[in-house]
Amino acid sequence: MTAISVSGLVVEYTTRSGVVRAVDGIDLSVRRGEVYALLGENGAGKTSTIEVLEGHRRRSAGAVQVLGRDPADGGTSARELRDRIGIVLQSSGVESELTVAEAVAIYSGVYRDPMGVDEVLDLVELSAAAPVRVATLSGGQRRRLDLALGIVGRPDVLFLDEPTTGFDPAARRRAWDVVRALRSHGTTVMLTTHYLDEAEQLADRIGVMSHGRIVHEGTADTIRGAGAQTTVAVRLDGEAVPAVLSEVAEVAGDMTVDGGRHIFRTTRSGDLIAALVTAAARHTVSVDDWEVTAPSLEDAFIQMVAETDGTTDE
């Protein structure tokens, strides 16, 4: 079943210099119980997209459904939808004089079936800070409070906007466990993050946005393999090395020599390795000291964004 459905979404802003199209006709579908990460550089259109889904921003065109409802509708429909979604913004406006427990209790009061305050604080590791005023929290504690406020209503859909900013590495991993637990209970999660390892750890699928469009969508594995280059380093020894290089040129990609090793950056690593072994055997060239480095999600992301900017060297 589909939790979020977007078709032809357009978001435009009017500025002094004219109309700016922040989101340029995207289509998007997120299944129930799925974690979907929306990645992109600043200005790619992620925040505008999420704000439309949350009901915080009007769209210029297109159709949007969240849990079968249009988030732009008002009245009873809007109240019913708000009761089923949770939102963790980049920063919240919690009254600084409240204690942590008071803030969670107030937020829980707007939901029909909220978690208990103690349960939520335990999940986000803020139990010891329950009597502490919000104003005195550290940055990481404040972010954990934001997460608590987002999940207190047992949301069917949870929007997470940079949820672990300010967390130390251990706290980030514990927050990931919270998200995984929510997913295991059927919560759909829409995540935006600049931490690509976070997306890789949590997301069932990833959408990469650039200039208002989704330029690629898939699992972390498929995105890594979509045009990003694998590095193959190998030591070739023998008089016929030039002949070997000539035979593998078609699949070699970019090639450099460093410390006696030939280093290839190619999108056809399997073909390259097979061609190197075959050509080296034919020309009696020794092949050893192999090192193959697969592209990271970050490599693939940078490549995709560069291609949309027209800044690649290829």
Which pLDDT value is given to residue 296? 80
Which pLDDT value is given to residue 76? 78
Dist. CA 151–CA 108, nearest whole Å:
9
**Could you read off the pLDDT of 240-298 as tens digits, one per residue?**
999 999 999 999 989 999 988 999 988 888 999 999 999 999 999 999 999 998 878 88
Which pLDDT value is given to residue 259? 86
Which pLDDT value is given to residue 79? 85
User: Inter-axis angle of helices 139-151 and 169-184, to 10 degrees?
Assistant: 0
Q: Does domain 31-50+73-224 have CATH number 3.40.50.300?
A: yes
CATH 3.30.70.600 domain extents, the chain: 230-294
**Could you read off the pLDDT of 185-195 as tens digits, one per residue?**
899 999 999 88
- Angle at the Cα of 248 from the Cα atoms of 238 and 261, rounded to 5 degrees: 50
Which pLDDT value is given to residue 58? 93
Residues 113, 154: contact at Cβ < 8 Å?
A: yes
Question: What type of residue sits at position 221?
Answer: D
User: In CATH, which superfamily holds the domain spanning 230-294?
Assistant: Ribosomal protein S10 (3.30.70.600)
3-state secondary structure of 85: strand
Is residue 227 very low, low, confident or very high in pLDDT (cuts 50, 70, 90)? low
CB-count burial class (<10 Å; 0-12, 13-18, 19+) for 64? buried
Please state the rounded mean pLDDT for residues 233-244: 95
**Could you read off the pLDDT of 87-111 as tens digits, one per residue?**
998 776 788 899 999 999 999 998 9
Which pLDDT value is given to residue 313? 44
**Could you read off the pLDDT of 28-56 as tens digits, one per residue?**
999 999 999 999 988 899 999 999 999 99
Which pLDDT value is given to residue 314? 42
Dist. CA 51–CA 31, nearest whole Å:
19
CB-count burial class (<10 Å; 0-12, 13-18, 19+) for 76? exposed
**Could you read off the pLDDT of 110-143 as tens digits, one per residue?**
899 999 999 999 989 999 999 999 999 988 898 8
In the chain, the percentage of residues whose pLDDT exceeds 70 is 97
Residues 87, 159: contact at Cβ < 8 Å?
A: yes
Report the candidate in 90, 100, 94 with the shortest Cα–Cα distance to residue 165: 90
**Residue with tokens 């070699």, as numbered in its chain:** 252
- Angle at the Cα of 295 from the Cα atoms of 222 and 159, rounded to 5 degrees: 55
Beta strands in the chain (DSSP E): 2-15, 18-31, 35-40, 61-66, 85-88, 157-161, 188-192, 205-210, 213-218, 230-237, 254-258, 261-266, 286-293
CATH 3.40.50.300 domain extents, the chain: 31-50+73-224
- Angle at the Cα of 103 from the Cα atoms of 98 and 109, rounded to 5 degrees: 135
